[in-house]
Amino acid sequence: MSIYSVRDDLKEAKLVIALTGAGVSVESGIPDFRSPGGIWEKFPPEEYGTIEAFRAAPERFWKFYLELARTFAAAKPNVAHTALARLESMGVLHHVITQNVDGLHEAAGSRSVIKLHGSPDALVCLACGARREERIAALGGPPRCECGAIMKPDVVLFNEELSRAEIESAQELAAKCDVCLVIGTSASVHPATTIPEIAFKRGAILCEINREATSLTHTGRVRRFLQGSAGPLLGRLVELLEKDGVGLSRETRSP
Ligand code: NAD
Ligand code: ZN
Protein backbone atom coordinates (compact mmCIF):
# COMPACT_ATOMS: atom_id res chain seq x y z
CA MET A 1 0.00 0.00 0.00
CA SER A 2 1.66 3.17 -1.02
CA ILE A 3 2.39 6.23 1.01
CA TYR A 4 1.14 8.28 -1.97
CA SER A 5 -2.40 6.96 -1.43
CA VAL A 6 -2.22 8.10 2.20
CA ARG A 7 -0.97 11.52 1.10
CA ASP A 8 -3.96 11.79 -1.25
CA ASP A 9 -6.40 10.60 1.44
CA LEU A 10 -5.07 13.27 3.78
CA LYS A 11 -5.38 15.98 1.14
CA GLU A 12 -9.01 15.12 0.47
CA ALA A 13 -10.17 14.55 4.06
CA LYS A 14 -11.98 17.19 6.06
CA LEU A 15 -11.47 15.64 9.50
CA VAL A 16 -8.42 13.55 10.32
CA ILE A 17 -7.65 11.94 13.68
CA ALA A 18 -4.65 9.92 14.81
CA LEU A 19 -4.79 7.22 17.50
CA THR A 20 -1.31 6.65 18.86
CA GLY A 21 0.25 4.08 21.19
CA ALA A 22 3.55 3.11 22.75
CA GLY A 23 5.11 2.51 19.29
CA VAL A 24 5.37 6.24 18.51
CA SER A 25 7.62 6.72 21.54
CA VAL A 26 9.88 3.71 20.93
CA GLU A 27 12.20 5.87 18.77
CA SER A 28 12.48 8.22 21.77
CA GLY A 29 13.90 5.38 23.85
CA ILE A 30 10.71 4.43 25.74
CA PRO A 31 10.21 0.71 25.20
CA ASP A 32 6.79 -0.66 24.23
CA PHE A 33 5.63 -3.91 25.75
CA ARG A 34 7.25 -5.90 22.98
CA SER A 35 10.70 -4.35 23.18
CA PRO A 36 13.16 -6.87 24.58
CA GLY A 37 15.07 -5.97 27.75
CA GLY A 38 14.47 -2.73 29.55
CA ILE A 39 11.90 -1.75 32.08
CA TRP A 40 9.07 -4.13 31.15
CA GLU A 41 11.26 -7.19 31.64
CA LYS A 42 12.28 -5.93 35.05
CA PHE A 43 8.71 -4.91 35.93
CA PRO A 44 6.24 -7.02 33.91
CA PRO A 45 3.28 -4.65 33.30
CA GLU A 46 0.65 -7.26 34.15
CA GLU A 47 2.31 -7.70 37.54
CA TYR A 48 3.30 -4.11 38.38
CA GLY A 49 1.02 -1.93 36.27
CA THR A 50 -2.40 -2.95 37.60
CA ILE A 51 -4.67 -1.07 39.98
CA GLU A 52 -4.67 -4.19 42.17
CA ALA A 53 -0.86 -4.05 42.40
CA PHE A 54 -1.07 -0.41 43.49
CA ARG A 55 -3.74 -1.11 46.12
CA ALA A 56 -2.00 -4.19 47.49
CA ALA A 57 1.50 -2.72 47.79
CA PRO A 58 1.80 0.97 46.89
CA GLU A 59 5.48 1.19 47.97
CA ARG A 60 6.39 -1.66 45.63
CA PHE A 61 4.34 -0.06 42.84
CA TRP A 62 6.24 3.21 43.25
CA LYS A 63 9.63 1.48 42.81
CA PHE A 64 8.43 0.56 39.33
CA TYR A 65 6.60 3.78 38.54
CA LEU A 66 9.44 6.12 39.56
CA GLU A 67 11.75 4.30 37.18
CA LEU A 68 9.16 4.58 34.41
CA ALA A 69 8.60 8.29 35.13
CA ARG A 70 12.36 8.90 34.94
CA THR A 71 12.46 7.13 31.59
CA PHE A 72 9.66 9.45 30.38
CA ALA A 73 11.38 12.55 31.77
CA ALA A 74 14.66 11.72 30.00
CA ALA A 75 12.95 11.15 26.63
CA LYS A 76 12.68 13.73 23.84
CA PRO A 77 10.06 13.81 21.08
CA ASN A 78 11.16 11.95 17.94
CA VAL A 79 10.33 12.52 14.27
CA ALA A 80 6.96 10.76 14.68
CA HIS A 81 5.86 13.26 17.34
CA THR A 82 7.18 16.30 15.48
CA ALA A 83 5.65 15.13 12.19
CA LEU A 84 2.22 14.78 13.87
CA ALA A 85 2.58 18.28 15.34
CA ARG A 86 3.57 19.58 11.89
CA LEU A 87 0.57 17.87 10.26
CA GLU A 88 -1.65 19.66 12.77
CA SER A 89 -0.08 23.06 12.05
CA MET A 90 -0.47 22.39 8.31
CA GLY A 91 -4.19 21.89 8.91
CA VAL A 92 -4.04 18.26 7.75
CA LEU A 93 -4.44 16.51 11.11
CA HIS A 94 -7.04 17.74 13.59
CA HIS A 95 -6.73 15.67 16.75
CA VAL A 96 -4.30 13.22 18.33
CA ILE A 97 -5.88 10.62 20.60
CA THR A 98 -3.13 8.97 22.57
CA GLN A 99 -2.83 6.01 24.89
CA ASN A 100 0.62 7.21 25.95
CA VAL A 101 1.33 8.89 29.25
CA ASP A 102 4.78 10.25 28.44
CA GLY A 103 3.77 13.81 27.44
CA LEU A 104 5.80 13.69 24.21
CA HIS A 105 3.00 14.77 21.84
CA GLU A 106 2.59 18.03 23.76
CA ALA A 107 6.37 18.43 24.04
CA ALA A 108 6.55 18.21 20.24
CA GLY A 109 3.94 20.94 19.85
CA SER A 110 0.70 19.03 19.24
CA ARG A 111 -2.14 21.15 20.58
CA SER A 112 -5.24 19.02 20.35
CA VAL A 113 -4.31 15.91 22.30
CA ILE A 114 -6.90 13.68 23.95
CA LYS A 115 -5.08 11.71 26.62
CA LEU A 116 -7.03 8.52 27.09
CA HIS A 117 -4.74 7.25 29.83
CA GLY A 118 -4.05 10.39 31.80
CA SER A 119 -1.26 12.92 32.32
CA PRO A 120 2.36 12.27 33.20
CA ASP A 121 2.74 14.81 35.96
CA ALA A 122 -0.22 14.59 38.29
CA LEU A 123 -1.10 12.59 41.39
CA VAL A 124 -4.44 11.51 42.77
CA CYS A 125 -5.43 10.15 46.17
CA LEU A 126 -7.73 7.13 46.14
CA ALA A 127 -8.55 7.63 49.82
CA CYS A 128 -9.81 11.25 49.80
CA GLY A 129 -9.97 12.20 46.10
CA ALA A 130 -7.32 14.96 46.28
CA ARG A 131 -5.41 15.69 43.09
CA ARG A 132 -2.25 17.69 42.54
CA GLU A 133 0.23 18.47 39.76
CA GLU A 134 3.73 17.26 40.55
CA ARG A 135 6.93 16.45 38.65
CA ILE A 136 6.85 12.75 39.35
CA ALA A 137 10.39 12.03 38.08
CA ALA A 138 11.75 14.39 40.75
CA LEU A 139 10.09 12.53 43.65
CA GLY A 140 12.42 10.71 46.02
CA GLY A 141 9.88 8.06 47.01
CA PRO A 142 6.15 7.32 47.25
CA PRO A 143 4.24 10.64 47.49
CA ARG A 144 1.95 11.12 50.47
CA CYS A 145 -1.37 12.93 50.44
CA GLU A 146 -2.26 15.38 53.23
CA CYS A 147 -4.67 12.69 54.47
CA GLY A 148 -1.73 10.32 54.98
CA ALA A 149 -2.41 7.88 52.13
CA ILE A 150 0.14 7.12 49.40
CA MET A 151 -1.02 8.83 46.20
CA LYS A 152 -1.35 7.22 42.77
CA PRO A 153 -0.03 8.73 39.53
CA ASP A 154 -3.03 10.16 37.69
CA VAL A 155 -2.71 7.67 34.86
CA VAL A 156 -5.02 4.80 34.00
CA LEU A 157 -3.54 1.55 35.30
CA PHE A 158 -4.49 -1.86 33.95
CA ASN A 159 -7.98 -2.92 35.09
CA GLU A 160 -8.79 0.68 35.92
CA GLU A 161 -11.64 2.68 34.37
CA LEU A 162 -10.84 5.36 31.79
CA SER A 163 -12.14 8.88 32.13
CA ARG A 164 -15.56 8.89 30.47
CA ALA A 165 -15.16 12.41 29.14
CA GLU A 166 -11.93 11.59 27.30
CA ILE A 167 -13.13 8.40 25.67
CA GLU A 168 -16.45 9.98 24.74
CA SER A 169 -14.87 12.94 23.00
CA ALA A 170 -12.51 10.55 21.17
CA GLN A 171 -15.46 8.41 20.08
CA GLU A 172 -17.39 11.47 18.89
CA LEU A 173 -14.47 12.45 16.68
CA ALA A 174 -14.15 8.90 15.37
CA ALA A 175 -17.82 9.01 14.35
CA LYS A 176 -17.18 12.12 12.22
CA CYS A 177 -13.68 11.63 10.81
CA ASP A 178 -12.79 10.91 7.19
CA VAL A 179 -9.38 9.41 7.90
CA CYS A 180 -8.29 7.64 11.07
CA LEU A 181 -4.55 7.07 11.39
CA VAL A 182 -3.66 4.27 13.82
CA ILE A 183 0.01 4.56 14.69
CA GLY A 184 2.27 2.39 16.82
CA THR A 185 -0.42 0.66 18.80
CA SER A 186 -1.14 -3.03 19.05
CA ALA A 187 -4.77 -1.85 18.97
CA SER A 188 -5.67 -4.43 21.56
CA VAL A 189 -6.37 -2.37 24.68
CA HIS A 190 -10.06 -1.66 25.23
CA PRO A 191 -11.69 0.89 24.85
CA ALA A 192 -9.09 2.50 22.57
CA THR A 193 -9.95 -0.31 20.13
CA THR A 194 -13.40 1.25 19.69
CA ILE A 195 -11.87 4.31 17.94
CA PRO A 196 -10.88 2.58 14.66
CA GLU A 197 -14.03 0.44 14.92
CA ILE A 198 -16.33 3.49 15.07
CA ALA A 199 -14.35 5.29 12.34
CA PHE A 200 -14.61 2.25 10.08
CA LYS A 201 -18.38 1.96 10.59
CA ARG A 202 -18.74 5.63 9.71
CA GLY A 203 -16.96 4.95 6.41
CA ALA A 204 -13.64 6.59 7.24
CA ILE A 205 -10.40 5.36 5.72
CA LEU A 206 -8.35 3.44 8.29
CA CYS A 207 -4.64 3.93 7.77
CA GLU A 208 -2.37 1.89 9.99
CA ILE A 209 1.32 2.60 10.53
CA ASN A 210 3.13 -0.13 12.42
CA ARG A 211 6.28 -2.20 12.27
CA GLU A 212 4.13 -5.31 12.13
CA ALA A 213 0.57 -6.46 11.47
CA THR A 214 -1.74 -6.19 14.50
CA SER A 215 -5.13 -7.54 15.49
CA LEU A 216 -6.60 -4.48 13.72
CA THR A 217 -4.78 -5.37 10.49
CA HIS A 218 -6.26 -8.86 10.75
CA THR A 219 -9.83 -7.52 10.87
CA GLY A 220 -9.45 -6.66 7.17
CA ARG A 221 -10.77 -3.14 7.86
CA VAL A 222 -7.48 -1.33 7.30
CA ARG A 223 -7.51 0.33 3.85
CA ARG A 224 -3.87 1.49 3.97
CA PHE A 225 -1.20 -0.36 5.89
CA LEU A 226 2.22 1.28 5.97
CA GLN A 227 4.67 -1.17 7.44
CA GLY A 228 7.71 0.34 9.13
CA SER A 229 8.78 2.76 11.82
CA ALA A 230 6.48 5.68 12.56
CA GLY A 231 9.24 8.35 12.48
CA PRO A 232 10.52 7.86 8.93
CA LEU A 233 7.03 7.16 7.52
CA LEU A 234 5.36 10.21 9.07
CA GLY A 235 8.38 12.36 8.22
CA ARG A 236 8.05 11.28 4.59
CA LEU A 237 4.32 12.03 4.57
CA VAL A 238 5.00 15.57 5.78
CA GLU A 239 7.62 16.01 3.02
CA LEU A 240 5.20 14.81 0.33
CA LEU A 241 2.44 17.13 1.53
CA GLU A 242 4.80 20.09 1.81
CA LYS A 243 6.03 19.41 -1.71
CA ASP A 244 2.42 19.73 -2.88
CA GLY A 245 2.12 23.06 -1.10
CA VAL A 246 -0.27 21.78 1.56
CA GLY A 247 -0.32 24.05 4.59
CA LEU A 248 0.93 27.09 2.71
CA SER A 249 -1.35 30.05 2.27
CA ARG A 250 -2.81 30.54 -1.22
CA GLU A 251 -0.48 33.44 -2.00
CA THR A 252 2.70 31.49 -1.34
CA ARG A 253 1.56 28.19 -2.84
CA SER A 254 3.45 27.36 -6.03
CA PRO A 255 1.26 27.03 -9.14
P1 NAD B 1 1.92 -2.01 22.74
O2 NAD B 1 3.23 -2.06 23.45
O3 NAD B 1 0.91 -3.04 23.01
O4 NAD B 1 2.15 -1.99 21.15
C5 NAD B 1 3.07 -1.15 20.53
C6 NAD B 1 2.89 -1.28 19.02
O7 NAD B 1 3.78 -0.39 18.39
C8 NAD B 1 3.21 -2.68 18.48
O9 NAD B 1 2.17 -3.05 17.61
C10 NAD B 1 4.54 -2.49 17.73
O11 NAD B 1 4.62 -3.32 16.60
C12 NAD B 1 4.44 -1.04 17.32
N13 NAD B 1 5.73 -0.36 17.17
C14 NAD B 1 6.84 -0.46 17.93
N15 NAD B 1 7.78 0.40 17.53
C16 NAD B 1 7.26 1.08 16.48
C17 NAD B 1 7.74 2.12 15.63
N18 NAD B 1 8.95 2.65 15.80
N19 NAD B 1 6.94 2.57 14.66
C20 NAD B 1 5.69 2.05 14.46
N21 NAD B 1 5.19 1.07 15.24
C22 NAD B 1 5.95 0.59 16.23
O23 NAD B 1 1.38 -0.53 22.98
P24 NAD B 1 -0.10 0.09 23.02
O25 NAD B 1 -0.92 -0.49 21.93
O26 NAD B 1 0.08 1.54 23.09
O27 NAD B 1 -0.71 -0.44 24.39
C28 NAD B 1 0.06 -0.46 25.54
C29 NAD B 1 -0.48 0.31 26.74
O30 NAD B 1 0.60 0.66 27.61
C31 NAD B 1 -1.10 1.61 26.36
O32 NAD B 1 -2.26 1.69 27.09
C33 NAD B 1 -0.12 2.68 26.80
O34 NAD B 1 -0.79 3.66 27.57
C35 NAD B 1 0.82 2.02 27.77
N36 NAD B 1 2.26 2.35 27.50
C37 NAD B 1 2.60 3.64 27.32
C38 NAD B 1 3.91 3.99 27.00
C39 NAD B 1 4.23 5.44 26.79
O40 NAD B 1 3.54 6.31 27.32
N41 NAD B 1 5.24 5.76 25.99
C42 NAD B 1 4.87 3.00 26.86
C43 NAD B 1 4.49 1.67 27.06
C44 NAD B 1 3.17 1.35 27.38
ZN1 ZN C 1 -5.82 11.80 50.46
Give the Cβ contact number of residue 167 at 10 Å. 18
pLDDT band at 1 (very low <50, low <70, confident <90, very high): low
Q: Residue whose CA is closest, atom 8 of ligand 1?
A: 186
- Give 137 Cα–ligand 2 centroid separation in angstroms: 20
Q: What residues flank ligand 1, with Cβ below 6 Å? A: 21-23, 25-27, 30, 32-34, 99-102, 117, 184-186, 189, 209-212, 214, 229-230
Probe target for ligand 1 pocket from 185, 194, 214, 217, with the most ligand atoms within 8 Å of CB: 185
Q: What is the mean pLDDT of residues 132-150?
A: 97
Nearest ligand to the CA of 184 is 1
The SS3 of residue 18 is: strand
- Predicted confidence (pLDDT) per residue in 144-167, tens digit: 999 999 999 999 999 999 889 999
In this prediction the pTM is 0.94
Distance separating the N- and C-terminal Cα atoms of the chain: 29
Q: What is the Å distance from ligand 2's center to 131 Cα?
A: 8
Determine the average pLDDT of the residues in 236-244: 97
> Average pLDDT of 169-191?
95
- Among the bound ligands, the one closest to the CA of 27: 1
For the stretch 27-86, pLDDT in tens is 999 999 877 778 899 999 999 999 999 999 999 999 999 999 999 999 999 999 999 999
**Measuring from atom 17 of ligand 1, which residue has the nearest CA?**
229
Nearest ligand to the CA of 40 is: 1
Of 188-192, 225-229, 238-242, the one with minimum mean pLDDT is: 188-192
Q: From the alpha carbon of 99, which atom of ligand 1 is closest?
A: 34
Whether the per-residue pLDDT at 197 is higher than 70: the answer is yes
Cis peptide leading into residue 58 (ω within 30°) = no
Query: 19: closest CA among 115, 104, 91?
Result: 115
Radius of gyration over every alpha carbon of the chain, rounded to an integer in angstroms: 19
Distance 157 CA to ligand 2 centre (A): 18
Other beta carbons within 10 Å of 161: 9
Percent of the chain with pLDDT over 90: 89
Please tell me the residue having the least CA distance from ligand 1 atom 42.
Answer: 22
Mean pLDDT of the chain: 94
Which residues are bridge partners to 153 per DSSP? 123
* Mean pLDDT within 89-112: 97
Residue 232 burial (CB count, 10 A) = 13
> Which of 94, 95, 105, 117 does the annotation list as catalytic?
117
Ligand 2 centre from 243 Cα, in Å? Answer: 54
Residue 226 φ/ψ, nearest 5 degrees: -100, 110
Would you say residue 249 has pLDDT above 90? no
Indicate the angle between helix axes 164-174 and 194-201, nearest 10 degrees.
Answer: 30
- Which residues touch 162 (CB under 8 Å, ≥6 apart)? 116, 117, 156, 191
94 is catalytic: no
Residue 250, pLDDT > 50, answer: no
Nearest CA to ligand 1 atom 18: 229
Helix orientation angle between 230-243 and 79-89, rounded to the nearest 10 degrees: 30
pLDDT of 189: 84
